[in-house]
Amino acid sequence: MAMFWSTSIIFSFSLLIFLSPSSRLVAALYGPSSDVVLLSPSNFKSKVFYSNGVVLVEFFAPWCGHCQALTPTWEKAAKVLKGVATVAALDADAHKSLAQEKL
């Protein structure tokens, strides 16, 4: 499901399913060699709001099965769209306050 915030920013929300804390995975879905830009509170505004181009943002939880299933597609989109659009992801579990913030 996509929500259009402005003409240049598209947010993609992964379906989140509640699991007990013991079933959470520690590792993020995207590694340092990924073309997906990992977002955090320190770079969110500069990479998303102050970007001059199109930015697609996925809000994910590393333990979420649907989010894990989307990872290869998101990686492929980042590779295909490189130079055309920024494909980014925010770990909504690690950055709960930012993920819940009304932007």
Q: Which of 53, 67, 83, 95 is catalytic?
A: 67
64 is annotated as an active-site residue: yes
Q: Which of 31, 64, 83, 95 is catalytic?
A: 64
- Contacts of 42-51 with CB under 8 Å at 24 or more apart are 44/90, 44/98, 47/86, 47/88, 48/9, 48/88, 49/9, 49/103, 51/8, 51/9, 51/86
Q: Which of 53, 66, 83, 95 is catalytic?
A: 66
Q: Which of 53, 65, 83, 95 is catalytic?
A: 65
65 is annotated as an active-site residue: yes
DSSP bridge pairs for 57: 11, 88
Catalytic annotation, residues: 64-67
